[in-house]
Amino acid sequence: MSGKFIVIEGLEGAGKSTAISAVTQWLNDKGIAFSQTREPGGTALAEELRTLVKQVRDDEKVTAEAELLIMYAARVQLIDNVIKPELNKGNWVIGDRHDLSSRAYQGGGRGISDELIEPVRNAVLKGFKPELTLYLDIDPKIGLARARARGELDRIELEELTFFENTRAKYQQIASQDESIVSINAMQTIDEVARDIRKALDDFYQCMS
């Protein structure tokens, strides 16, 4: 069986770590070899870019366009150096965020137009995309409260509520138009979220058979 790329997406505080644990348990139960990645990051250079884009800066404003390009620079490093080689070996890859994050955060949250994003996406991805994306949908107020309870926030997490509301709206819009994206209600209990994730994975696996 060829490797598959599964991505977990959602706002801050949506429970991505818990969701990834549910996915890894499902893969272990199936006896499927897998690796995990995160975005931005996942390679030495991409991790440096992650630090650049997430650290709070007082000396210089990070423009929306610079943020977008940094995200895609990190992404192409990860895709070419980690994700594709793993998939070619037949391993599955679990991604903590991927391209949908840029479309939602920089497109929805920052308001960058599709006319700017699409050429960058096409140049970097060349049609590459996950076979399955699990989008954890949560009210930004609840998600941000959870994120603040975890500790210090990064530059993006410190944005105003309207930024995350716009990001969520873009997530929901894209998810409604893409059959490979399954929306999970992340405001349920942990057990209920895990149940819905397992069902989505079971359905995906059955479609492959």
Note the pLDDT tens digit of each residue in 51-79: 999 999 889 999 999 999 999 999 999 99
What distance in Å separates the CA atoms of residue 120 and residue 137, rounded to the nearest whole number?
Answer: 26
Cβ-proximal residues to 194 (8 Å cutoff; 6+ apart), any chain:
18, 19, 22
Element (H, E) at 95: strand 92-96
pTM of the model: 0.96
Tally Cβ neighbours within 10 Å of residue 19. 25
Calculate mean pLDDT across residues 12-22.
Answer: 96
Question: What is the structure's pLDDT at 71?
Answer: 98
What distance in Å separates the CA atoms of residue 154 and residue 206, rounded to the nearest whole number?
Answer: 39
Calculate mean pLDDT across residues 137-162.
Answer: 93
What's the domain count of the chain? 1
| Torsion region of 122: left, alpha or beta (phi above 0 gives left; psi -120 to 50 gives alpha) | alpha
Q: What is the CATH number of the domain that holds 188?
A: 3.40.50.300
Residue 177's domain comprises: 5-208
